Amino acid sequence: MRRTLKIKTRLLLTVGFVAVMLAASSGVALWRLSAVEQSVEQVVRGDGRLAGVMAQFVLHVGDLAQHERGYLSAVARTRPAENELQLWKGAYASAAQRLTELDAVADGRSSSQSLRTALRA
């Protein structure tokens, strides 16, 4: 059959075969690209939530340090320090709540245990 086809027909068949293969590989690439896009969106959503929870935790730890410094300053000056102590307890409870939220984020579970241990110390 190869000898009966003219060169023009052979070239057209070759170009057609290459075009079909290119279209098929492009379709597979687009299909895989959409799967990768979904995975990336899932990771971005998780990382965004993790970053938000961690930022809130850091703010509460900053509040803890501020109220601890105020408490120690008030005790050193022999002033009433109950207000600072209550504010410190509130900041501690908020930080513990953020650690609980961090446990809910898949990537945050590993770091939340060490942070919880450090917070208790």
Examine residue 80 and state whether it is found in any structural domain, yes or no.
yes
pLDDT tens column, 81-103: 788 888 888 888 888 888 888 88
Q: Residue 17's pLDDT is what?
A: 95
Q: Residue ranges of the chain with pLDDT lower than 50?
A: none
Domain containing 23: what range? 7-120
Examine residue 1 and state whether it is found in any structural domain, yes or no.
no
Burial label for 91, CB within 10 Å (0-12, 13-18, 19+), is: buried
Contacts of 50 (CB under 8 A, 6+ apart): 102, 105, 107, 108
Examine residue 56 and state whether it is found in any structural domain, yes or no.
yes
Examine residue 26 and state whether it is found in any structural domain, yes or no.
yes
Coil vs helix vs strand at 72: helix
Q: Residue 1's pLDDT is what?
A: 57
Q: Residue 20's pLDDT is what?
A: 94
Q: Residue 32's pLDDT is what?
A: 87
Contacts of 13 (CB under 8 A, 6+ apart): 5
Q: Residue 96's pLDDT is what?
A: 86
Q: Which pTM value belongs to this model?
A: 0.58
Closest alpha carbon to 67 in 86, 92, 84? 84
Helix (H) / strand (E) element for 24: namely helix 7-76
Q: Residue 53's pLDDT is what?
A: 82
